[in-house]
Amino acid sequence: WFSTVEMAPADPILGLTEKFKADTNPDKANLGVGVYQDANGKLPLLPSVAEAERRVASVPQPKPYLPIDGLPAYNQAVKELVFGAGSPVIERVATVQALGGTGALRVGAEFLKSVVPGAKVLLSDPSWENHRALFTAAGYEVESYRYYDAAARDIDFAGMVEDLRSAERGTIVVLHACCHNPTGYDLDDEQWGQVIEAVKERELVAFIDMAYQGFAEGLDEDGRVVRRFADAGLQFVCSTSFSKSFALYGERDGALSIVCADADEAKRVLSQLKPVVRTLYSNPPTHGARLVATVLGDPELRAQWETELGEMRDRIKEMRAALVEGLQAAGITDDVSFITDQVGMFSYSGLTKDQMVRLREEFAVYGTDKGRICVAALNPNNIAHVAKAIAAVW
């Protein structure tokens, strides 16, 4: 049966980690995948999460199947974090726990097939590499709207709005709430206002992906975009993830929230999300959801987590500034201030595929072929090597 199966290409992001692990260069740096590492180059276990682990472990519990839509306390915590505690919007939101942001995107994609049959999906150009693969795998025709202008090193906002305004009614438009992946360029408040207008007037289906809440400015600041869509009276879809904000990558803690017109509609939508989940993976896992619900359900632990999240955010900003200095020290005279203009885990370097391959092969510095590097994986020990490597291929 399988003799004709061909070798699939490696994943453009996770495939780099496999290569990185096999690299024997002692100076190697994995700036491929979007994973935060601390100042010692280690994946952190946040102290708030460690405390939640202790609390969960101190009361050994059986492991039942969770409800199809997930742990109720977790879903409630998601709603409050995404839409704001006490927000009247919450009663018209259907939320299901999902397997990370990717799982949430896929559940949303499957659900939308019955709501807007035959709709196209529009992604930002560029977008997270898995967006295209995922929506294509779900059976959609995927196209893009203009977003990044490489020559200007800025957002092509006029192009973006023009593309949204010429999209057909019902088109699914995937938007990054904050920390745009891969470019690190976010829209400003005024621009979001225009996007909301376009979505409303053209009757588009906004699918807001928020995988990095808390990594740009703060939890509420980053969640503002989602709240503005809700306040504008729009019905839309929002995928969220705690992989990064809790450093719980392997627990697959995500959620899909669908903002409906009213509570009754939300009930019906939730009932339709359940068969999607049931036929994909039946119901979600318990442990990671318990950890997040424990942290978010305890005011002290939650405050501690917010501090820890702020520390990650600040360290990334420090590394951006240090990279600019490092590049200048390594002899680059071009303006590289774009690195500190960008926000979130990534910097879109503008380097070509050939340059990225050289970085990898000659210096063991791993970034994606599209020129994205994860600045959240820089630290005082690897930054000089990275800066020198970039300067050498510049």
Give the nearest distance from C-beta 312 to ligand LMR in angstroms: 15
Q: Pick from 171, 165, 219: which is nearest to 196 by CA?
A: 165
Selected from 130, 171, 257, 283, the binder of ligand LMR by CB under 6 A is 130
Selected from 74, 128, 185, 242, the binder of ligand LMR by CB under 6 A is 128
Note if the bond before 126 is cis, omega within 30 degrees: yes
- 165 or 370: whose CB is closer to ligand LMR? 370
Give the nearest distance from C-beta 209 to ligand LMR in angstroms: 10
- Of 244, 253, 305, 369, which one is the catalytic site residue? 244
- 83 or 128: whose CB is closer to ligand LMR? 128
Residue with tokens 């291929």: 393
State which amino acid sits at residue 260: C
Coil vs helix vs strand at 372: strand
Give the nearest distance from C-beta 317 to ligand LMR in angstroms: 19
- 36 or 145: whose CB is closer to ligand LMR? 36
CB 376 within 8 A of CB 345: yes
Per-residue contact string for residues 86-125; x = within reach of ligand LMR by CB under 6 A: ----------------------------------------
Give the CB-nearest residue to ligand LMR: 34
Selected from 20, 31, 34, 389, the binder of ligand LMR by CB under 6 A is 34
Number of residues that bind ligand LMR (CB under 6 A): 6
CA distance 80 to 389: 44
CA distance 67 to 76: 14
334 in catalytic set: no
Note if the bond before 182 is cis, omega within 30 degrees: yes
Distance (Å) of CA 125 to CA 25, 112, 203: 34, 22, 21
CB 219 within 8 A of CB 81: yes
- Of 69, 128, 156, 305, which one is the catalytic site residue? 128
- 301 or 345: whose CB is closer to ligand LMR? 345
- 92 or 106: whose CB is closer to ligand LMR? 106
Look at the alpha carbons of 74, 97, 68, 11 in this order and tell me if their dihedral is positive or negative: negative
3-state secondary structure 248-293: CHHHCEEEEEEECCCHHHHHHHHHHHHHHHHHHCCCCCCHHHHHHH
Selected from 20, 30, 31, 33, the binder of ligand LMR by CB under 6 A is 33
CA distance 339 to 325: 11
Q: How many other C-beta atoms lie within 10 A of the C-beta of residue 138? A: 17
- 124 or 130: whose CB is closer to ligand LMR? 130
Give the nearest distance from C-beta 13 to ligand LMR in angstroms: 4
Q: What is the DSSP letter of 307?
A: H
List binders of ligand LMR among 162-191 (CB under 6 A). Answer: 181
Give the nearest distance from C-beta 11 to ligand LMR in angstroms: 8
Residue with tokens 């503008």: 350
CA distance 131 to 102: 8
CB 101 within 8 A of CB 252: no
Asked if residue 343 binds ligand LMR (CB under 6 A), the reply is: no
- 126 or 326: whose CB is closer to ligand LMR? 126
- Of 209, 222, 253, 369, which one is the catalytic site residue? 209
188 in catalytic set: no
- 199 or 359: whose CB is closer to ligand LMR? 359
Q: Pick from 222, 206, 176: which is nearest to 84 by CA?
A: 222
11 in catalytic set: no
CA distance 76 to 96: 10
Give the nearest distance from C-beta 18 to ligand LMR in angstroms: 13
Give the nearest distance from C-beta 60 to ligand LMR in angstroms: 32
Give the nearest distance from C-beta 184 to ligand LMR in angstroms: 12
Selected from 13, 226, 230, 260, the binder of ligand LMR by CB under 6 A is 13
Interacting residue ranges for ligand LMR, rule: CB under 6 A: 13, 33-34, 128, 130, 181
> What residues act catalytically?
128, 209, 244
